[in-house]
Amino acid sequence: MNREHRYTISNLAELDDRLLNQTVQLFVEGFFKQAADLMKVGLETCADAFKHSFLKEHYYVALQDGNVLGLLAVSSRKGRSHAFNKSILQQEFGFWKGSLVYYFLKKELEKPINLKHEQCYIESVTTSEEARGQGVATALIQYLFEHLEYKEFLLEVVDTNVSAFRLYERLGFTVFKRKKAGFFDKKGGFNERWYMRRVRG
């Protein structure tokens, strides 16, 4: 573990099951609350369903007083940050809902990304509600700059997430590509996906 500012940054593979559970819960709260409401399932059910999929060596978390305050994942040419088991998702959500969730997650979190050896892709950045605006995401991303040996760091942000966009700009990222939102993306409330990168100086 390493100290970054007032947070301890650690790779998820170094942590115990209690902190893994907190990480999964934060991930679900950050990215699947709306989907859980639509499917009429609880966040605990989502956490139970997704826990198996985390490839822990790809995840970094920010800890304070023994609790997970923020997380992000790093994908590379070696692979993505999740591997989903369709049977487990069907067991937790039911056959049809589980099949639909599997299709969506496989498309979003396991889709191939064309990275070079010197590139990595930062994804699933989220902070607990009570710790937002306190530098958690900044500490996590700066940790990557200082401890991972990639020459180029890539990430994606939607056009309506202005606070995240400004944070990434402050950290040296610039937009290199814009992609118009599809039908379902627009239902999610945004119009474009912006792809940003920071090249190690």
Mean pLDDT over 68-85 rounds to 95
* pLDDT above 90: residue 199: yes
pTM of whole model > 0.75? yes
Q: Give the strand pairing for 174-180 and 152-158.
A: unpaired
Helices 17-31 and 43-50 pack at an angle, to 10 degrees, of: 120
pLDDT the model gives residue 104: 87
* pLDDT above 80: residue 115: yes
Average per-residue pLDDT for the chain: 91
pLDDT tens string 131-172:
999 999 999 999 999 999 999 999 999 999 999 999 999 999
CA 39 to chain centre: 21
Non-local (6+) Cβ contacts of 138 within 8 A are 167, 170, 171
